């Protein structure tokens, strides 16, 4: 269990060594958000939270712990919707998700975790530190698990990126029959995040995955680049 102040890059390098592995050029390192949040001290003890009157109202109407509602509100830039037990918000990072990423899973009783303050900066820090330790700086993706508005089930998404472009842009290229592509811009970091979840699982204690052999688009990308600007958003 990761603790506040732990050097994640060192833990990752040690774990790779125990498995007889080492990082290679063009590897992609996929890191679950939970260990990043724990290492950065993004954890709240519920007994120390005093809910506001609005948080108490949310607790009563949505069957939520008002202390949790208060923490969600503190992490929220804007409330998008409140229906049944779902509190859909825009986080201070600009992401739209349930409960601002506040989460109980894989943390001791009485505590909840928050998203990292700047997941892109967290990804860059892990990447640079691994470069110091191993001489190889992989692309790094930090992920979290979110639902999707029009489909059942959850999928891992990228919330932090370093060392690669978040997109594979096909615009201007031609398809198999010669048609020019105008809108196809694939969010490859989300696809890699979802693929990595297949081997991480939610309760297997595997918070880091190495993806090897994918020729990713290099660049100084950020997960924040994935957030659709409000003026282009048809649903907010």
pLDDT band at 171 (very low <50, low <70, confident <90, very high): confident
Quick one: what percent of the chain has pLDDT higher than 70?
100
175 contacts 49 by C-beta, under 8 angstroms? no
Is residue 199 scored above 90 in pLDDT?
yes
Q: What distance in Å separates the CA atoms of residue 32 and residue 67, rounded to the nearest whole number?
A: 25
Q: What is the mean pLDDT of residues 45-71?
A: 93
pLDDT digits (tens, 9 = 90+) for 7-57: 999 999 999 999 999 999 999 999 999 999 999 999 999 999 999 999 999
pLDDT at 219: 86
DSSP one-letter string for the chain: ---TT--HHHHHHHHHHHTT----TT-EEEEEHHHHHHHTT-EEEGGG----HHHHHHHHHHT--HHHHHHHHHTEEEEEEEETTEEEEEETTS-EEEGGG-B-TTS-TTEEE---S-HHHHHHHHHHHHHHHHS---EEEEEEEEEETTEEEEEEEEEEEESS-S-EE-TT-B-TTSPBPSS-EE-HHHHHHHHHHHHH-SSSS--EEEE-S--PPPS---GGGGSPPGGG-S--
Residue 35, token pair as written in the block? 């260990």
Residue with tokens 């990082």: 23
How many angstroms from the chain centroid is the CA of residue 55? Answer: 25
User: Max Cα separation, the chain?
Assistant: 62
What is the rounded average pLDDT of the residues 65-77?
Answer: 94
The structure tokens listed for 211 are 């993806």
Q: Report whether pLDDT(158) > 90.
A: yes
Which domains, ranges and CATH numbers included, belong to the chain? Answer: 1-40+116-225 (3.30.1330.100), 43-115 (3.90.1660.10)
pLDDT at residue 27 in the model:
96
Give the mean model confidence (pLDDT) for residues 178-200. 92
- Mean residue pLDDT across the chain: 92
Residue 172 in tokens: 């201007």
pLDDT of residue 160: 96
Residue 112 has pLDDT above 90, yes or no: yes
Can you give the pLDDT at residue 165?
94
Q: Note the pLDDT tens digit of each residue in 122-149.
A: 999 999 999 999 899 999 999 999 988 8
pLDDT at 117: 95
- Residue 124 is encoded by which pair of tokens? 């860059």
The neighbour count for residue 182, using CB atoms within 10 Å, is 9
pLDDT in tens, 81-111: 888 778 899 998 889 989 999 988 888 889 9
> In 3D, which of 148, 83, 66, 72 has the Cα closest to residue 115?
72
Q: What is the mean pLDDT of residues 68-76?
A: 94
**Confidence grade of residue 228 (pLDDT, cut at 50, 70, 90):** confident
Tell whether the model's pLDDT for residue 157 goes beyond 90. yes
pTM, rounded to two decimals: 0.93
């Amino acid at each position: 269990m990761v603790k506040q102040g732990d050097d994640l890059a060192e833990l990752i390098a040690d774990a790779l060594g125990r498995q007889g592995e080492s990082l290679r050029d063009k590897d992609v390192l996929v890191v679950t958000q939970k260990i990043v949040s724990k290492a950065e001290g993004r954890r709240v003890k519920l007994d120390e939270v005093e809910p506001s009157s609005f948080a108490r109202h949310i607790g009563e109407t949505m069957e939520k712990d008002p202390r949790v509602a208060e923490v969600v509100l503190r992490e929220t830039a804007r409330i998008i919707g409140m229906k049944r037990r779902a509190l859909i918000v825009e986080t201070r990072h600009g992401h739209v998700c349930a409960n601002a990423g506040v989460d109980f899973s894989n943390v001791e009783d009485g505590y909840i975790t928050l998203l990292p303050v700047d997941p892109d900066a967290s990804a860059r820090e892990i990447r640079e530190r691994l470069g110091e330790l191993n001489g190889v700086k992989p692309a790094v993706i930090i992920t979290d698990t979110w639902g999707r508005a029009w489909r059942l089930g959850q999928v891992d998404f990228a919330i932090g990126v370093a060392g690669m472009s978040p997109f594979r842009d096909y615009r201007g290229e031609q398809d198999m029959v010669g048609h020019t592509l105008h809108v196809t811009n694939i969010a490859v970091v989300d696809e890699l995040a979802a693929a990595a979840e297949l081997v991480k699982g939610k309760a297997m204690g595997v918070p880091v995955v190495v993806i090897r052999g994918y020729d990713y688009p290099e660049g100084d990308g950020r997960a924040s680049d994935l957030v659709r600007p409000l003026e282009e958003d048809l649903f907010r």
